[in-house]
Amino acid sequence: MSDDFMREKPVFSLVLSMSLPMTLSMLVNSLYNIVDSYFVAKISENAMTALSLVYPLQILINAIAVGLGIGLNAAAAYYLGARQPESANHAASLGILLSMVHGVILTVLCSLMVPSFLRLFTCDPVVLQDGLSYSYIVFLFTVPITLGIALEKMFQAEGQMVLSMISMLGGGITNLILDPILIFGTPWTPAMGINGAALATGIGQIVPVVIYLMFYFTKPLPLKLSLCRSIWEPSLCKRIYVVGIPAAITIALPSLLITVLNGILAGFSQTYVLILGIYYKLQTFIYLTANGIVQGIRPIIGYNYGAKEYGRVKKIVSTALLLTFSVMAFGTVICLLWSEPLIGLFTESPETITFGGSALRIICCGFIISAASVTISGTMEGLGDGVSSLKISLLRYIIIMIPAALLLSRLLGAFGVWHAFWISETLTALSAIWMYRKTSL
């Protein structure tokens, strides 16, 4: 497959062809995330609370895996655009090896730290036990997670978005099928409860790896993996990590934010902790879909930037911004009109549904304006400027959000935390626009 289409195809159709498969797969994966939580909520409200408390560590694992993958993606796409295939091959090979090393390290660290981490937020023995049971099984599948994401980013660098879609759909559908079977059992299999949910999630992570490897060994591709010594060039490692580390920190910041917000909300009631957990499950429907667009444009921005097609890069960014804005507007309407029914998917408590519905309506006021920061952050990564992307995320999740949540929670109680979301999104978007205008494009 020739990669010239990333430089020659009309911009709008190129962005759609690259983004649509990723958007569809992200949409399905967000639905899987919601349905997965729906099944866990049917076990008990304690099980759902446990899942909410473990969620930051899962974000951390994915953040490190995706960050490294983005570094691999940016380097490989740049070298392909610059017509340096050997360097592109070395970038992909090094990224794959590093992903497996990271997976082993994360498995050990997360398994060791999870008991102390959970005890920071709950003394309930049932919630604690559910959280530990779920975590220990899920963390066993960390290496397939990191490897699968690295392979995904490698194929995306050469424009193989449909393959990424097929692989992600395969993992998501596998999880959806296994969830009710392993959680609630069948006449032929035992009910495993929350352990079944963890096992279904882990098996679902293996499926994409199998699909990627089957495709790699059966189809001729521009990128070739190798184990030659030259892939360990310090300059190549630096190129991957210069983008990858800021990207990983960027993606990990929600983990820190959720941890801090859980601590604030736990001072009011466990109900608010549960509402926050439900919100983060629901918002994946919006933000994962938008992230599909960002994933689609990242390699073509890197490719065209490497080819010095700067005017084309600008057109790609403006087209992506329009698409992301449309996704966010749709999500805002859904959350405003059906906030209580959405919360009701995960709890039967009338109090939680009422408070949660109000929270969702407040938070969604920031969705549309966040389209700017989400798109520009991905653009900076595609340009190889991971530091600017990190600055945007630091503003969004830490520098503005946490002080606003602390201050408003003192003034307005738990509902002050919900207002901090739209305030943070607005100020971050304005800062992101300013940063983008300062680029050399």
**pLDDT 10s per residue in the chain (441 long)?**
445 666 667 777 878 777 777 677 667 666 666 777 778 888 887 888 888 788 888 888 888 888 888 888 878 877 877 777 787 888 888 888 889 999 999 999 999 999 998 888 878 888 899 999 999 999 999 999 999 988 988 887 776 777 877 888 888 889 889 989 999 988 888 889 889 989 998 999 999 999 999 988 888 777 777 776 666 777 788 888 887 887 788 778 887 898 899 889 988 888 898 899 889 888 888 888 888 888 788 878 877 877 777 888 888 888 899 999 999 999 999 999 999 999 998 888 888 999 999 999 999 999 999 999 999 988 887 787 778 888 898 999 999 999 999 999 999 988 999 999 999 999 999 999 999 888 766
- Contact in structure between 67 and 58 (CB atoms under 8 Å): no
Question: Tell me, what's the pLDDT at 30?
Answer: 65
Query: How confident is the model at residue 196, as a pLDDT?
Result: 92
Residue 106 is predicted with a pLDDT of: 94
Cα separation, 123 vs 272, in Å, equals: 16
- Residues 350, 261: Cα–Cα separation, whole Å: 23
Q: From CA 372, how far away is CA 320, in angstroms rounded? A: 10
Whole-Å CA distances, 282 to 41, 289, 363, 372, 378 = 14, 12, 12, 21, 22
Cβ atoms of residues 340 and 359 within 8 Å: no
Of 378, 356, 290, give the one whose Cα is nearest residue 327: 290
DSSP H helix total and E strand total for the chain: 17, 0
Cβ contact 371:290 at 8 Å: yes
Using the structure block, give the residue that is written with the tokens 């159709």: 13
What percent of the chain is helix, strand and coil (3-state, nearest 5)? 85, 0, 15
- Report residue 149 as tokens: 């994401």
DSSP single-letter state for residue 189: B
Neighbours of 104 (CB within 10 A): 12
Q: Structure tokens of 359?
A: 């929270």
Q: Cα–Cα distance between 10 and 280 in angstroms, integer?
A: 36
Cα–chain center distance at 73: 16
**Other Cβ atoms within 10 Å of 120 Cβ, number:** 11
Q: What is the pLDDT of residue 440?
A: 65
pLDDT of residue 220: 72
- pLDDT confidence of residue 1: 43
The predicted pLDDT at position 3 comes to 53
- Count how many Cα atoms sit within 13 Å of the Cα of residue 364 in the half-sphere of its side chain: 26
Query: For residue 25, what pLDDT is reported?
Result: 66
Looking at the chain, how many residues does it have?
441
Structure tokens at 30: 């967000």
Tokens of 306: 């490497």
| 260 burial type by CB count under 10 A (0-12 exposed, 13-18 middle, 19+ buried) | middle
What is the pLDDT, as a whole number, of residue 108? 94
pTM over 0.75, yes/no: no
